[in-house]
Amino acid sequence: MQKRVTMISLLVLLLALTAGVIHAQDVPPVFCGSLAEADCAILENAQKAVAELTGATFDLNFDLNLDNIPDAPFDTLAINLSGAGAYAIDPAIMEKLAVFEGDPMAIFEDMEQIGQLVEDALTAFDGQLNLTLTLPPEVLAEIAKEGIKLPEKLSVELRMVDGVGYVNLSALAEAIPDAGIPGGWYGLEIAKLLNNVFVMLAPQMEGMMGMLPGFDAETITQFSDPAVVGDFMNIERVADADVNGEAVAVFKTTLDYVKLFSNPALTDMMKSQMDAAGAGMSEADLEQMMEMMREMYKGLTFDVTEYVGLADGLPRQLEMRFYWDMTGMMSAMGEVTTQVSAPAFGANFTIVYGNFNTPPAITAPEGAVVLTAEEAIQMFMGGMGAMSGS
Mean pLDDT of 280-286: 75
**Contacts of 216-219 spanning 24+ positions with Cβ under 8 A:** 216/105, 217/22, 217/103, 217/104, 217/105, 219/269, 219/272
Average pLDDT over residues 271-294: 74
pLDDT at 21 over 50: no
pLDDT at 67 over 60: yes
Mean pLDDT (whole number) for 250-257:
94
100-109, 212-221, 331-340: which has the minimum mean pLDDT? 212-221
At residue 199, the pLDDT reads 83
Q: Which helix (H) or strand (E) holds 120?
A: helix 111-123
Q: What is the pLDDT of residue 15?
A: 47
Question: Cβ(186)–Cβ(369) under 8 Å?
Answer: yes
**Would you say residue 90 has pLDDT above 50?**
yes
Q: What is the pLDDT of residue 277?
A: 61
Give the Cα separation of 264 and 279 in Å (integer).
19
Mean confidence (pLDDT) of the chain: 83
Residues in the chain: 390
Q: How confident is the model at residue 264 (pLDDT cuts 50, 70, 90)?
A: confident
pLDDT at position 106 is 61
At residue 298, the pLDDT reads 85
**Share of residues in the chain with pLDDT > 90 (%):** 50
pLDDT at 115: 86
User: Of 185-189, 235-239, 306-310, 341-345, where does mean pLDDT reach its minimum?
Assistant: 341-345
| Residue ranges of domains in the chain | 2-381
Look at residue 83 and tell me whether its pLDDT is greater than 60.
Answer: yes
Residues 6+ apart with CB under 8 A from 57: 84, 85, 86, 353, 354, 355, 359, 360
**Alpha-carbon distance 80 to 65, whole Å?**
9
CA-atom Rg of the chain in angstroms = 23
Work out the angle at residue 217's Cα, subtended by the Cα atoms of residues 261 and 195, and round it to the nearest 5 degrees: 105
DSSP label at 360?
P
Q: Which residue has the higher pLDDT, 340 or 128?
A: 128
Topology, domain 2-381: outer membrane lipoprotein receptor (LolB), chain A (2.50.20)
pLDDT of residue 5: 46
What's the pLDDT at 190?
A: 97
**Has residue 246 got a pLDDT over 60?**
yes
| Residue 98: per-residue pLDDT | 63
Q: What's the pLDDT at 284?
A: 81
pLDDT band at residue 18 using 50, 70 and 90 as cut-offs: very low
| Residues whose CB is less than 8 angstroms from the CB of residue 2 and which lie 6 or more positions away in sequence, other chains included | none
> Which segment of 17-21, 174-178, 273-277 scores lowest on mean pLDDT?
17-21
Give me the mean pLDDT over the 356-381 stretch.
94
Minimum mean pLDDT among 41-55, 92-106, 110-124, 340-354: which range? 92-106
* pTM of model > 0.85: no
Q: Which of 154-163, 165-174, 254-263, 280-289 has the lowest mean pLDDT?
A: 280-289
The SS3 call for residue 235 is: strand
| Candidate from 62-76, 95-109, 259-273, 286-300 with smallest mean pLDDT | 95-109
